[in-house]
Homo-oligomer: A and B are copies of this chain.
Amino acid sequence: MEKISQTLKPPYYAVIFTSIKSDHLENYDEEALRMENLVKSQPGYLGHESASAEIGITVSYWKDLESIKAWKKQKDHRLAQVKGKSTWYSQYKIRICKVEKEYGV
């Protein structure tokens, strides 16, 4: 089961990625899985949470903005971004956020 991420004490950073898929999903599942594995080995990565229904939401957590920038520029990830933009997603939005407070059980 995909668990709720246990992150650091704030402040840290979150990337909220929301998307609506197109009808052109060649290689999507393989690439999504590949990116999911790859992201876990990136410096500054703290965890991620993902769910999809009519829209997909993936939130990844990061130590700082530099780590987010480095992941954005990572070679294989760049190729996936190009494919996402041109083919897999009909709409998407990425929001870069500073997590200021967290609570829960």
Spell out A's residues near B (CB within 8 Å).
Answer: 1-5, 7, 10, 14, 16, 18-20, 49-57, 59, 85, 89, 91-105
Copy number of this protein in the oligomer? 2
- 10 tightest A-B CB contacts, nearest first: A93-B104, A97-B97, A51-B51, A96-B101, A51-B53, A95-B102, A51-B57, A57-B57, A98-B98, A2-B54
Contact status A100-B98, CB under 8 Å: yes
Contact status B59-A59, CB under 8 Å: yes
- Which DSSP category, helix, strand, loop or mixed, fits chain A's interface? strand
Contact status B59-A55, CB under 8 Å: no
Nearest CB in chain B to that of A84: its residue: B105
Contact status A95-B57, CB under 8 Å: no
Contact status A100-B97, CB under 8 Å: yes
A-B contact pairs, 16 of them (CB 8 A): A3-B20, A3-B91, A4-B19, A4-B20, A4-B93, A5-B93, A7-B95, A14-B16, A16-B16, A18-B49, A51-B54, A91-B105, A92-B104, A93-B102, A94-B104, A95-B101
